[in-house]
Amino acid sequence: MSARYQVTGATAVEISASIESGIRTAALPPGAALPPVRALAAELAVSPATVSRAYQELRQRGLVATAGRHGTRVRPRPPVAARRSALRPPPAPGLRDLSAGEPDPSLLPPFGPHLAALAADAGASIGYSGGGVLPELAEAARARLAADGVPAGELTLTGGALDGIERLLGAHLRPGDAVAVEDPGWANLLDLIAALGLRPIGVPVDDEGPLTAGVSAALSAGARALILTSRAQNPTGAAISAARAAALRELLTGWPELLLIEDDHAAELARVPLHPLAGATRSWAFLRSASKPFGPDLRLAVLVGDETTVARVAGRTRVGAGWVSTVLQRLLLALWRDPAVAEQVDRAAESYERRRTALLAALAERGIEARGRSGINVWLPVPDETSAVTALRDAGWSVAPGALYRIAAEPGLRITISPLADTDVTPLADALARAVRPPHPGGFTA
């Protein structure tokens, strides 16, 4: 609990409003602990049940999370508009930031030339009646997906993969429903699930994807949707193998009502083949984001799926945001059509692969097993996240604590390799080795 922020209120509504205001103004930043229920109740002279109700309301809206002995804390990305800088404080000056999970900006294709070409050939303005998915973009997207074995289905566009996931979950599930997700899994997805009032059920992941037994257990426990990452799983780098895809497909034949969502965010950057599950259930959706290969600021993902599922997403978009701007659609199409951009994306993929495998090899030389089959992150199991993060900070590196990504998985660190230079690999591996195996405290010798 921030020593500076005084929660006030005499009713559950007032107390939750006071905490929400603290979150909004960043007096209670992400990760801040709220006081224990009884302590706050005594301080405010209300009953513990009143404080419990306030905390429960904030939990149901995804602002806070309660984790056993760790108490109740502000979620990493609570769904109230805190100042952007408060959402993810920058690492202390002088630290190399390997915590962000961002693509290397120098490896993203520049938009300038394509924007200039679009400006020169802008055509007539599009009004409300003309908005929607551009047929030429849909055709190009279908061809690209078909080349990767994704079955032809209906197609729409969303403002990124996470927007697509939100629309899918919103259209199929109700607050309180359970969703099976990878554990460890993408922190932003866990925050979205909390904000929608849904319950995550964790599924363990190995390098070949979510474990079939884990998926089976989650479905038996009542999950109504399953969200899988095809490749470059965040944070472990797992990629669904042919064998795992076959096993999962077989399992899913027994769960025809399940909403199956596949997130292929690595898309053109992935250097491992795609093994889609698309079509394994009646309700399915396959999302391919433009963020990683072409740039997060495009805010665009292609969503294909069965007719009903896509119609729900497209119909809901139509009554709200309307459509994804055709300006962005034309920009993405221009990027797809430019062979120089394709070469640039290939070079980026190669560069990520080289840096990731170099770090994994340097760790292996030091007797440390880490994970990172694909993508821009390496996952390093550690006995204690706090001491490992602190040791690395003292050595000049900022990495992400695994707690952001875990439900019941073992502790670990997520290390984003996209900011690494080749010359960083040895000093980073040395620092990681020291952080994972801290020296015995003074006075104890073997």
In the complex, the residues that contact ligand PLP under the rule CB under 6 A are 101, 160-162, 186, 229, 234, 263, 265, 289, 291, 296, 301
Residue among 16 and 229 whose Cβ is closer to ligand PLP: 229
Neighbours of 373 (CB within 10 A): 21
Residue appearing with tokens 């009542």: 222
Cβ atoms of residues 190 and 181 within 8 Å? yes
> Shortest gap between Cβ of 91 and ligand PLP (angstroms)?
18
Handedness of CA 143, 145, 149, 151 (dihedral sign): negative
Dist CA 104 CA 109 (whole Å)? 11
* Residue 42 tokens, joined: 């005594």
* Residue 363 tokens, joined: 């760790």
> Shortest gap between Cβ of 160 and ligand PLP (angstroms)?
3
Residue 178: CA atoms inside 13 Å, Cβ hemisphere, count? 12
Q: Where are the alpha helices (DSSP H) in 338-394?
A: 339-365, 385-394
- The residues, ordered by sequence, that sit 6+ positions from 300 with a Cβ below 8 Å of its Cβ are 157, 158, 159, 160, 289, 290, 291, 324, 328, 329, 332
Dist CA 104 CA 446 (whole Å)? 44
Residue among 232 and 435 whose Cβ is closer to ligand PLP: 232
Residue among 63 and 239 whose Cβ is closer to ligand PLP: 239
Residue among 54 and 240 whose Cβ is closer to ligand PLP: 240
> Shortest gap between Cβ of 309 and ligand PLP (angstroms)?
18
Dist CA 322 CA 228 (whole Å)? 27
Residue among 263 and 424 whose Cβ is closer to ligand PLP: 263
Q: Closest by alpha carbon to 89, among 10, 154, 26, 164?
A: 26
Residue among 62 and 159 whose Cβ is closer to ligand PLP: 159
> Shortest gap between Cβ of 362 and ligand PLP (angstroms)?
24
Q: Which residue is nearest to ligand PLP (CB)?
A: 160
> Shortest gap between Cβ of 243 and ligand PLP (angstroms)?
22
> Shortest gap between Cβ of 168 and ligand PLP (angstroms)?
13
> Shortest gap between Cβ of 302 and ligand PLP (angstroms)?
10
Identity of the residue numbered 388: A
Dist CA 81 CA 223 (whole Å)? 30
> Shortest gap between Cβ of 43 and ligand PLP (angstroms)?
40
Residue among 205 and 435 whose Cβ is closer to ligand PLP: 205
Residue among 16 and 374 whose Cβ is closer to ligand PLP: 374
Dist CA 397 CA 255 (whole Å)? 45
